[in-house]
Amino acid sequence: MELAAVAAIAERLGRVAPVGVRVNPNINAATHPYISTGLHGHKFGVPRERAVAMLRQAAAHRWLQPVGIAAHIGSQITDLDPFAEAVQFLVTLADEMGREGIRLDYIDAGGGLGIDYQDSVPAAADWVRTVGPLVAAAGYGLVVEPGRSIVGRAGALLTRVVYTKAQGDKQFIIADAGMSDLIRPTLYQAHHPIAPVLERPGAPVVVDLVGPICESSDFLARERALPPLEPGDLLAVLHAGAYGYAMSSNYNGHLRPAEVLVEGDTFRVIRRRQTYDDLLAGTWPGVGGPGCSQQDLVRAAK
């Protein structure tokens, strides 16, 4: 359906559209199931047989030109072997299409290289050195998508301790940021390094760092050894650059924070802090309440 949609747009514009096909190679990247995308049970890409059919269809179409194939097998991958397996799969497929007269220009190795949240992971250069020779030897151009491994380390979430709380044997640090600001620990059980901006002296204490949202899943870290903390202390939740703000929400009416770009010893606000006026902007008086008509609901939906 998507290929047909591209073809229709290309015909309407009178321009041949270069297209690539994302192939699902059925490779297990051994990552969290929510961010694994390379198995046939996942919604991403198409199986090999369908990819072949789509490339043939594109080659025969007046307004389409097949130029590449791609695979993306998951995120936060810390082993290079699945990448090499996926790229070899793509090279073999591209060679097969070439023997049919459908010569592709490039192979897209996708992304998904992990960053060092907790364990050591390969560098992006090692990743390229692993997949690059396989593609170059076959005579194709190489595309890689290392965005996460670059921008992940570039971002930090700053949060302030509001309260500390002992609950039986548990020690809680309650902060003003939580799952609505950085959902990865809740959603993926992701481990983000956490450091006090100013560290107090004393032995580390094992705590749960939790937020202000009314959910037991609202946490930034569980069973984490942190230095002694008091209300007012600032914490930096590191490696939040890849999917921090982009996955944030207004859940429970919580406002999104500001984004600040730091360059050397200077900084500037690049996204202002959200206000309650922002949160309520665009609402329709009476929608969902007394006197709400069907016309009000239709108008709000539009």
CATH 3.20.20.10 residue spans of the chain: 2-151
- Using a cut of 0.85, tell me whether the model's pTM lies above it: no
Q: Which residues pair with 66 in a beta bridge?
A: 19
CATH number of 2-151: 3.20.20.10
What's the chain's average pLDDT?
Answer: 88
Range 157-254: architecture per CATH: Beta Barrel (2.40)
| 277-301 pLDDT, tens digit each | 998 887 655 554 555 666 665 666 6
DSSP 3-state assignment of 246?
A: helix
Confidence band, pLDDT 50/70/90 cuts, at residue 108: very high
| 236-257 pLDDT, tens digit each | 999 998 888 999 999 999 999 9
User: Would you mind telling me the total number of residues written for the chain in this entry?
Assistant: 302
**Annotation says 214 is catalytic:** yes
Q: Which amino acid is at 51?
A: A
Quick check: 167 pLDDT over 60?
Answer: yes
229/209 Cα distance (integer angstroms): 11
Dihedral sign of CA atoms 123, 124, 127, 128 in order: negative
CATH 2.40.37.10 residue spans of the chain: 157-254
207/154 Cα distance (integer angstroms): 26
Quick check: 173 pLDDT over 90?
Answer: yes
Q: How many CB atoms lie within 10 A of CB 214?
A: 9
Residue 207 class from Cβ within 10 Å (0-12 exposed, 13-18 middle, 19+ buried)? buried
| 203-229 pLDDT, tens digit each | 999 999 999 999 999 999 999 999 999
- The residue annotated as part of the active site, out of 1, 198, 214, 301, is 214
- Structural element, H or E, at residue 222: strand 219-226
237/220 Cα distance (integer angstroms): 8
